Structure 1
Amino acid sequence: MKKDLRFLCYPFMREAASTVDFEIRTDSLTTRIGQAASLVADMEVVYADLQYLQPMAYHLNGSVRGKLAITEADLNRLSDMYDFYCEKVHDKIQSFVLPQGTEAACALHVCRSEAKKSVRALHKVSLEQEVPQILFDYSHLLANVFFVMAVYVNDQTGVEEIPFVSKSYPERKRRKNA
């Protein structure tokens, strides 16, 4: 008798390897990118970038279990995207800020958080198997791109960033990352 696939949401779910957790994290990231894109449809540059990044998150997903699908050209394009947004919001990213603002900016902050979770899951995979450095570079940079995108969206809509001053750590200048 053929197995009824409606009772299987993901074929690797029962594996013990951390690869599964990474794939689930990046699937969540891809979903959140789609959500964020739906909220910035009127902002052509951001929308186009998210339309590009959504399938890239799935390429990142498959690059651990399957064939490496992230290239130097992909990393360079993401780096250029980061530079573009940083140039636009340079003055607003010099200190730590609260993840707030418009609904679109908040969705981008969620993407940033999901990307960070993906980095952490990728680290867990690397404890079990070899992971190409480009996947770490891409994942870290992706989280930082979502941060500057969120700040850019707030800037474009007139929402001020709210600086966060920690009671736990001494204040320091932000290093252009999330």
Structure 2
Amino acid sequence: MSGDRISRVITRTGDGGDSGLADGSRQPKSAPVFDALGDLDELNAGLGVLRSHALGADTDAGLDRIQQRLFDLGAELAVPGLLRLDAADVLHIEQWCQAINKQLPSLQEFILPGGTPSAAWCHMMRTVARRAERHLVALHRISAQNPHSLAYVNRLSDLLFVLARQLNRQAGHPETLWRNS
């Protein structure tokens, strides 16, 4: 079929321990860019698992948009110099996060990750987002990355935190507070 973007899954080109970026360059699979790409892939797959829960149309649509942007961010990493994310993408996540947070009671103490399966998965993906952010920052120290992309992943972890709280609240599941001893 003409026009297929991916015609072969098995290429054998990475059998020697290196892999190619979309710009044609090859690097060891242990290179920082592949750490960041791997984390973004894991985060995106995890958001797909989250979307398999009954979250409501608005939340699902918002997560779809995030998954699309994470692919755009991967494209930025695979093609050095390509810029896909911008300030509007960061603002969108900030506004969604703020809208959810306004509906939640203020926190008097840290909460333990958990609750409903969907909320617990949000917490899990929050930790993956934080790891992806750390790897993006490490890559940024080697080769400048889009500052909007760095901010985007940072805000995404915040969003996943408040979304977990919202999902627990909607399900009537109480938050488990850290017993600060």
**Structure 2 length normalisation: TM-score?**
0.80
- Root-mean-square deviation (Å): 2.1
**What do residues 127-163 of structure 1 show as CA deviations (whole Å, max 9, x unaligned)?**
2111232122111100000010011000100001111
Residue identity in the other structure for 1:52: R
Query: Share of identical aligned residues, percent?
Result: 22
Structure 2, unaligned stretches of length 5 or more?
1-9, 21-26
Which has the higher mean CA deviation after the structures are superposed, 114-123 or 94-103?
94-103
Query: Any conservation in 2 of the 1:108–1:149 contact (CA below 8 Å)?
Result: yes
Aligned to 2:91: 76
Distance in 2, matches of 1:63 and 1:126, equals 12
Aligned to 1:176: none
Q: In the TM superposition, what are the counterparts of 1:19-58 in structure 2 within 5 Å?
A: 19-41=33-55, 43-58=56-71
The 1:16/1:7 distance shift into structure 2, 3 A limit, reads closer
The Cα of 1:122 is off from its aligned counterpart by 0.6
The Cα of 1:97 is off from its aligned counterpart by 0.6
1:140 to 139, 150, 154: 154
Aligned to 1:172: none
**What do residues 2-46 of structure 1 show as CA deviations (whole Å, max 9, x unaligned)?**
xx52685993473443011000000000000000011134x2222
The Cα of 1:94 is off from its aligned counterpart by 4.4
Which has the higher mean CA deviation after the structures are superposed, 47-56 or 106-115?
47-56
Q: In the TM superposition, what are the counterparts of 1:111-150 in structure 2 within 5 Å?
A: 111-150=125-164
Higher helix share: 1
The Cα of 1:68 is off from its aligned counterpart by 1.4
The 1:39/1:23 distance shift into structure 2, 3 A limit, reads same
Query: Any conservation in 1 of the 2:133–2:154 contact (CA below 8 Å)?
Result: yes
2:123 aligned with 1:109: yes
The 1:157/1:138 distance shift into structure 2, 3 A limit, reads same
How many residues end up aligned between the 2 structures?
162
**What do residues 26-81 of structure 1 show as CA deviations (whole Å, max 9, x unaligned)?**
0000000000011134x222222112211112222222332111111111111111
Instruction: Please give the secondary structure, in 2, of the residue aligned with 1:11.
Output: strand
Instruction: Please give the secondary structure, in 1, of the residue aligned with 2:19.
Output: coil
Aligned to 1:98: 112
Structure 1, unaligned stretches of length 5 or more?
168-178
The 1:153/1:115 distance shift into structure 2, 3 A limit, reads same
**What do residues 81-112 of structure 1 show as CA deviations (whole Å, max 9, x unaligned)?**
111111121x1544311111111111111111
